[in-house]
Structure 1
């Protein structure tokens, strides 16, 4: 299928309805010109563009009718709407249409389906690129003002005379003084680079010689290294990151006033599933 350019919305003219914004549903609140001014003043143009791009995308992603009906039913039940006759009033009170309900209830499932088909083959490469930031670590730490104190406390720990839980509240200058000297699990890439290098190549239980990191002298012990694996949670995370990168590129195109690439080629992948 040949991908065509998706045209931008035409400039609005000759509106039959007043060009106003409703905040409480059904009550005119603000002129469109005032809304435009606030959008730019408060830096909300990107958020609005992203919402429009996402809405257009979700509406275009097919979903089997039975699955859609079940998701809508679950969505309403979780909000205390248990009978069909309650739906119109629930929608009216929120200024929503039935189409809004359909999108709200099924958006996540539609996006998951698209992500699996479009970016599923790219997940492993993305994971390998992101793994250094996904690996986690638990370590014990003292941040100290002088090299002499760092050497003294390091020796006490090495010889078993004292340990991090008792020393951190007394001597450490960082927030670890409130957690008995222990930090984590945290991303291995989140710490100071002088810490990260040691932790990445260290052995569990290894007590490192005192070293300087920024303005502090540090006593450090690696407690546990928790390498990330490509489990279901990380697989979904990689899919969502790949999707968000694509989505933000599409938002950039819209904000630049350029025609959006059509969704035909992407949606054709979903037709291969054999579902409507």
Structure 2
């Protein structure tokens, strides 16, 4: 039912927003760009590609135009809200880079932490134990957004500075020693802009569906 309502709303919105109309010239250029980007310029290669998806050219063209219309609708819905939404979401999108070693016991973790605080370098430490996580590399690195950081680490990282060694933490049946390598503020680049635009569009669509449910 949700999919049916969503499709109905999207169809109405695309049809009612006259400024979403795509000229034939624009459509043809987008089609050329698509075939060029996907190495489908050769007619035989393109036909083989269509056949691999069980599509005729007419069906492909209709779907292509529909997707273009949806993208334009998404851009219109999100454009005016994007910067404000980014600022709202930014605290959870900022990233922290951690290097870490996983060990089996708390004593091993404390010993590693002590060596690091005495000036040892995490990548140069001998392997404390052969675990699945560190069998290939004794020190690994991960970049996490704040919303991805495990809850047990949040307060520790909040109080830390670059280069600090965190207290050993128990996660997923292992002990971990983390070092804070870098704090990276989120930037509204193309990839993040696409992600946030999709979120705004989904929120808008869910609000439309909810309003329709109320009136049914």
- Scaled by the length of structure 2, the TM-score of the pair is 0.71
Aligned with 2:107 (options 124, 133, 148): 148
Residues 46 and 181 of structure 1: CA distance in aligned 2, closer, same or farther (over 3 Å): farther
Residue in 1 that maps onto 2:180: 222
Judged with a 3 Å threshold, the aligned counterparts in structure 2 of structure 1 residues 103 and 161 are, in CA distance, closer, same or farther, namely same
1:195 is aligned to 153
Please, which runs of 5 or more residues in structure 1 have no aligned partner?
1-44, 260-276
Q: Structure 1 residues 223, 57: CA separation in 2 closer, same or farther (over 3 Å shift)?
A: same
After superposition, where does 1:62-211 map in structure 2 within 5 Å? 62-75=21-34, 78=38, 80=40, 94=54, 96=56, 98=58, 100-161=59-120, 163-164=122-123, 166-167=125-126, 169-171=127-129, 175-176=133-134, 178-211=136-169
8 Å Cα contact 2:97/2:141 also seen in 1: yes
Compare 221-230 and 210-219 and name the one that shifted more.
210-219
Q: Distance in 2 between matches of 1:172 and 1:200?
A: 30
Normalising by structure 1, we get a TM-score of 0.58
Aligned-residue offset at 1:222: 0.4
Describe the SS at the equivalent of 1:207.
coil
Q: How many residues align?
A: 207
CA displacement, residues 16-64 of structure 1 (integer Å, 9 cap, x when unaligned): xxxxxxxxxxxxxxxxxxxxxxxxxxxxx54565455545555553223
Quote how far apart the aligned CAs of 1:138 are. Answer: 1.9
Secondary structure at the residue paired with 2:81? helix
- Structure number with bigger Rg: 1
CA distance in 2, matches of 1:207, 1:175: 19
CA contact (8 A) 2:163 2:179 kept: yes
Structure-2 change in CA distance of 1:221 and 1:203 (3 Å) = same
**Equivalent residue of 2:168, what SS?**
strand
Secondary structure (helix, strand or coil) at the match of 2:72 reads: helix
Aligned partners of 1:201, 1:116: CA distance in 2, in Å? 39
Deviation at 1:111, TM superposition (A): 3.0
CA contact (8 A) 1:136 1:188 kept: yes
Distance 1:102 1:65 in 2: 12
Q: After superposition, give the CA deviation of every residue in 1:190-215 in whole Å (9 maximum; x if it has no partner).
A: 13212133224422211234355676
Paired residue secondary structure (1:69):
helix
Q: What CA deviation, in whole Å up to 9, does each residue of 1:46-99 have, x standing for no partner?
A: 45654555455555532233212212344456474656xx98xx69x945573x
CA distance in 2, matches of 1:156, 1:181: 14
